[in-house]
Amino acid sequence: MSKPLVGIVMGSDSDFTIMEEASKVLEQFNIDHEVLVTSAHRSPERTRKYVSGAKRRGIKVMIAGAGGAAHLAGVVAAETQLPVIGVPIESVLNGLDSLLSTAQMPGGIPVATVSIGKPGAKNAGLLAAQILALSDNNIATQLTKYRKDQAKAVAQKSKKLKTKYAANFKG
Ligand code: RP5
């Protein structure tokens, strides 16, 4: 049976197309995680119940994504000592409202906020993996390889453009 190390919560099922990027990263590193839709304002009791039991059940990092008046990450952070990564979801104001609502926590209860939308969700997964890697050599090794492969891919992209547009491309 799997023992989830990361808990991913989102305010609505409409957030899932974004938040699945975090889940995909964790799957890539074989990190057990669980995903739950729960809202800070529409289902406060459900949110509190889930978050307050998370540490006891072995969860080490929480990722919370929400849009609009996005207070889910802050509410999650208020209920646990686990590190909380907030993902602002695109909204009617292109996610700027979500970004500010998630990032602008008053001093005392921190939320580590990533960028808006899919890149942010991806980075939330990577940041969770990096936190777990502090005490897990297997994940640390996978992260080292991930970065090496990423660097190789950049060089390959440049090479491809050189073949296509020649001359002034260095390589
Ligand atoms: C937020 O409201 C959710 O996180 C979502 O991003 C947004 C819209 O929710 P739905 O109306 O699509 O359920 O609480």
Look at residue 167 in the predicted model and tell me its pLDDT: 64
Mutate to test the pocket of ligand 1, among 10, 12, 41, 76 (most ligand atoms within 8 A of CB): 12
| CA 34 / ligand 1 centre spacing (Å) | 20
Q: Which residue has the tokens 């020649």?
A: 166
88 shares a domain with 21? yes
| CA 16 / ligand 1 centre spacing (Å) | 10
Q: Which atom of ligand 1 is nearest to the CA of 15?
A: 6
In a domain, 159, yes or no: yes
pTM of the model: 0.95
In a domain, 1, yes or no: no
Q: Please count the CA atoms within 13 angstroms of the CA of 84 that sit on its side-chain side.
A: 27
Look at residue 33 in the predicted model and tell me its pLDDT: 98
Look at residue 165 in the predicted model and tell me its pLDDT: 77
- Domain of 57, CATH number, reads 3.40.50.1970
In a domain, 38, yes or no: yes
In a domain, 42, yes or no: yes
Nearest CA to ligand 1 atom 7: 67
Q: Please count the CA atoms within 13 angstroms of the CA of 125 that sit on its side-chain side.
A: 25
Look at residue 41 in the predicted model and tell me its pLDDT: 96
| CA 123 / ligand 1 centre spacing (Å) | 21
Residue 66 beta carbon below 6 angstroms from any ligand 1 atom: yes
pLDDT digits (tens, 9 = 90+) for 31-55: 999 999 999 999 999 999 999 999 9
Mutate to test the pocket of ligand 1, among 8, 9, 10, 14 (most ligand atoms within 8 A of CB): 14
Domains held by the chain: number: 2
pLDDT in tens, the chain (171 residues): 579 999 999 999 999 999 999 999 999 999 999 999 999 999 999 999 999 999 999 999 999 999 999 999 999 999 999 999 999 999 999 999 999 999 999 999 999 999 999 999 999 999 999 999 999 999 999 999 999 999 999 999 988 888 877 767 677
The DSSP call for residue 29 is: T
Which pair of structure tokens corresponds to residue 57?
């059940």
Distance between CA atoms of 69 and 75, rounded to whole angstroms? 12
The DSSP call for residue 15 is: G
169 shares a domain with 130? no
Look at residue 53 in the predicted model and tell me its pLDDT: 96
Q: Which amino acid is at 149?
A: D
Look at residue 52 in the predicted model and tell me its pLDDT: 96
In a domain, 21, yes or no: yes
Q: Which atom of ligand 1 is nearest to the CA of 13?
A: 13
| CA 144 / ligand 1 centre spacing (Å) | 35
> Domain range holding 96?
6-135
Nearest CA to ligand 1 atom 14: 11
Residue 90 beta carbon below 6 angstroms from any ligand 1 atom: no
Q: Which residue has the tokens 């889930």?
A: 50
Give the H or E element holding residue 9. Answer: strand 6-10
